[in-house]
């Protein structure tokens, strides 16, 4: 389940879909997945791929910026050191 979720998160970043990244991040928290794993193996992997595409000239500045917005949208509900909650229930801490 975690690998699949991370793949979906990475694709949301690669495809520049900030709303999708946020929805997927929320789903991951609700399912009890480790937020740090989802960030590192999903969102970070996605933005690294965006960087590679940019370096090869396949993506341009707008795609890079949109990918960054998607990455920011994913963990937007959980900040480092903050308590993460879904529906008012504490589900973890980053």
Q: What is the pLDDT of residues 40-81, one digit of tens each?
A: 999 999 999 999 999 999 999 999 999 999 988 776 655 444
Domain boundaries, the chain: 2-93
Q: Which CATH class is domain 2-93?
A: mainly alpha
Which residues, 6 or more positions from 18, have their beta carbon under 8 angstroms from its beta carbon? 12, 66, 69, 70, 72, 73
What pLDDT, on a 0 to 100 scale, did the predictor assign at position 80? Answer: 47
What pLDDT, on a 0 to 100 scale, did the predictor assign at position 73? Answer: 78
Question: Does residue 53 contact residue 18 with C-beta atoms inside 8 Å?
Answer: no
pLDDT tens profile 9-46: 999 999 999 999 999 999 998 899 998 999 999 999 99
The greatest distance separating any two alpha carbons of the chain, rounded to the nearest whole angstrom, comes to 44
């Amino acid at each position: 389940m975690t690998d699949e979720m991370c793949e979906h998160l990475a694709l949301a970043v690669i495809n520049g879909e900030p709303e999708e990244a946020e929805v997927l991040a929320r789903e991951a928290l609700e399912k009890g997945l480790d937020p740090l794993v989802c960030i590192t193996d999903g969102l970070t992997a996605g933005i690294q791929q965006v960087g590679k595409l940019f370096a090869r000239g396949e993506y341009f500045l707008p795609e890079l910026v949109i990918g960054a917005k998607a990455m920011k949208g994913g963990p937007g509900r959980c900040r480092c050191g903050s308590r993460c909650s879904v529906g008012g229930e504490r589900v973890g801490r980053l």
